[in-house]
């Protein structure tokens, strides 16, 4: 029964009660509709959100994969991660080295049966890309002439990857410099110097025979095929010392190699291994490589750099301290007369730089660590490679016939030698 107050005697009250009832029902209906719409909107929102998250995740993954293949850092190096694939072929395993030119990574080459290779990824900067193109050209010529048999690093493949020149090379061990550095600059034993120097002469002679000059020979660019080592403890020095098990090496980094017919840049070679004719801007050819090899062999024998300097004038003063006076013909011919005065090197031994050279450098033969015949033969070879005049410098064909290498001809290959190599010059 209706509540008595709902139907009041006054018309206004009665109409007001009806209207209130109507409005109440209408509001209830509206509230119900609002709740339904709100639920639908919420359901739709959650569906859209789930879809958005799924799409976003998928898009992010796709974008991430894409970014890994094409994104460069501020310097132009390719940004990569372990596990990335390049060209649907090379799977990145680790970083082997970093330089101004780019990065070298170890990869699994899935088209070569899962073989491990070193992939050189050049920075996306035109001057480095151009150097890489020149290096590829040289490596292709080397492969054409005699692939894998002349102690030069072998190239398997090359490609352009989103502006990065990439070169696939045989995977080798540490450089002879890195091994020396990691071994506290302990010199290589002379029997190891024998084999390493012999191979170096062989490899570069091959280049010279094919009208090429390497121009950047240094211990960093000579790599062990396998740098595994034996460890012994030195009681006197109270430290562990490494001895590389195999001295088989390869010559690498042909980014500066120059054919005889190509333009010869004025300055070549890394400072410490730079020949005097390069410093004096007298022109250069294959003999500048021979000078570098002389410096490298010395470094293997004593454990440190022969010409430790960063200045042309001091470099020339160091040469004179170690090797004697620069020939007057070279002095007369050079355009770099600012380094000379009245036909002699303009150098004051009483300056701090002069005292440094006098106190830290000495005539070449005084660096001998033994009076054994083979040590003297080694220094005779080095002296012949460090002749000031390029025309008087030993050729590598002559170097291979030097008495220092005589026992390599007489003895059969052993565990130190790479028995697969034909050692005839």
Task: Provide the annotated active-site residues.
Answer: 216
Q: Which residues are annotated binding-site positions for ATP?
A: 120
Q: Where are the alpha helices (DSSP H) in 109-188?
A: 126-145, 176-182
Nearest Cα neighbor of 104 from 92, 119, 117, 89 is: 119
Residues 121 and 93: their CA atoms lie apart, in Å, by 14
Residues 297 and 273: their CA atoms lie apart, in Å, by 11
Q: Which neighbouring-strand residues pair with 340?
A: 345
Per the structure block, which two tokens stand in for 79?
């940004």
CB 149 within 8 A of CB 184: no
- What is the chain's Cα-based Rg? 37
Nearest Cα neighbor of 246 from 222, 231, 227 is: 227
Residues 173 and 116: their CA atoms lie apart, in Å, by 12
From the CB of residue 128, how many other CB atoms can be counted at a distance below 10 Å? 19
- Interacting residues of 47 by C-beta distance below 8 A, sequence separation 6+: none
Q: Which residues are annotated binding-site positions?
A: 120
Nearest Cα neighbor of 405 from 373, 382, 378 is: 378
Burial class (CB in 10 A: 0-12, 13-18, 19+), 375: middle
Identify each DSSP E strand in 183-296 by its residue range. 212-213, 222-224, 229-234, 239-244, 249-251, 258-259
Residues 89 and 111: their CA atoms lie apart, in Å, by 6
Q: Which neighbouring-strand residues pair with 239?
A: 234
């Amino acid at each position: 029964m209706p509540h008595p107050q709902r139907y009041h005697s006054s018309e206004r009250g009665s109409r007001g009660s009806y209207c209130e009832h109507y409005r109440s029902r209408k509001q209830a209906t509206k509230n119900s509709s609002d709740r339904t719409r709100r639920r639908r909107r919420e359901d739709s929102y959650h569906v859209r959100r789930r879809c958005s998250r799924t799409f976003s995740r998928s898009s992010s993954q796709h974008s991430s994969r894409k970014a890994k293949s094409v994104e460069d850092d501020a310097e132009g190096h390719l940004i990569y991660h372990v596990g990335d694939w390049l060209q649907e072929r090379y799977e990145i395993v680790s970083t082997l080295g970093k330089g101004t030119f780019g990065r070298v990574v170890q990869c699994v080459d899935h088209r070569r049966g899962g073989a491990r290779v070193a992939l050189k990824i050049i920075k996306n900067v035109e001057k480095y890309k151009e150097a890489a193109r020149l290096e590829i050209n040289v490596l292709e010529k080397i492969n054409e002439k005699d692939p894998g048999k002349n102690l030069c690093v072998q190239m398997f493949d090359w490609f352009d990857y989103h502006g990065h020149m990439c070169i696939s090379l045989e995977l080798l061990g540490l450089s002879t410099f890195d091994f020396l550095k990691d071994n506290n600059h302990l010199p290589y034993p002379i029997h190891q110097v024998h084999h390493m120097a012999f191979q170096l002469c062989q490899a570069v002679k091959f280049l010279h025979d094919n009208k090429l000059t390497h121009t950047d020979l240094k211990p960093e660019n000579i790599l062990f095929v396998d740098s595994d080592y034996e460890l012994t403890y030195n009681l006197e020095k109270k430290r562990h010392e490494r001895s590389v098990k195999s001295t088989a090496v390869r010559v690498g980094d042909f980014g500066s190699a120059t054919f005889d017919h190509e333009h010869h840049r004025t300055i070549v070679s890394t400072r410490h291994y730079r020949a005097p004719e390069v410093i004096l801007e007298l022109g250069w050819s294959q003999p500048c490589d021979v000078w570098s090899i002389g410096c490298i062999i010395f470094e293997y024998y004593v454990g440190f750099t022969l010409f430790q300097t960063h200045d042309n004038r001091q470099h020339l003063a160091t040469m004179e301290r170690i090797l004697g006076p620069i020939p007057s013909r070279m002095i007369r011919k050079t355009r770099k007369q600012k380094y000379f005065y009245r036909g002699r090197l303009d150098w004051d031994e009483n300056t701090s730089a002069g005292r440094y050279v006098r106190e830290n450098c000495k005539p070449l033969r005084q660096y001998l660590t033994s009076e054994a015949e083979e040590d003297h033969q080694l220094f005779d070879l080095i002296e012949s490679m460090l002749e000031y005049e390029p025309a008087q410098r030993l050729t590598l064909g002559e170097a291979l016939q030097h008495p220092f290498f005589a026992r390599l001809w007489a003895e059969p290959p052993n565990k130190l030698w790479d028995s697969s190599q034909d050692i005839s010059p």
